[in-house]
Amino acid sequence: MGTIGPFYFFGWLTGRVLSADDFTNDHRIVVALHETIRLMAEIDKTIDAHGGWPAPLQRKDSGKQQ
């Protein structure tokens, strides 16, 4: 989630009383975000292992490959 995400999420939760359904839904969101970040890292690792992004797909605003 990076550094901003948890602070935003916990700030949003401050002072709220969550029902069981709210808690379940929020938990699912956090798990989905965590899994998305994990899968993105796995995809990036696989791309790097195969030589990185082809030139037409590289960002032009930085020298670093995506």
**Cβ proximity of 23 and 16 under 8 Å:** no
Token pair 């700030």: residue: 11
Question: With bands split at pLDDT 50, 70 and 90, how would you rate the model's confidence at 1?
Answer: very low
Q: Are 39 and 27 in contact (CB under 8 A)?
A: no
- Token match 């069981």: residue? 20
Q: Say what the pTM is.
A: 0.59
Q: What is the pLDDT of residues 27-56, one digit of tens each?
A: 898 899 899 999 999 999 999 999 998 888
37 Cβ contact partners less than 8 Å away, ≥ 6 residues apart: 1
Mean pLDDT, rounded, of the chain: 82
- Do you know the residue count of the chain? 66
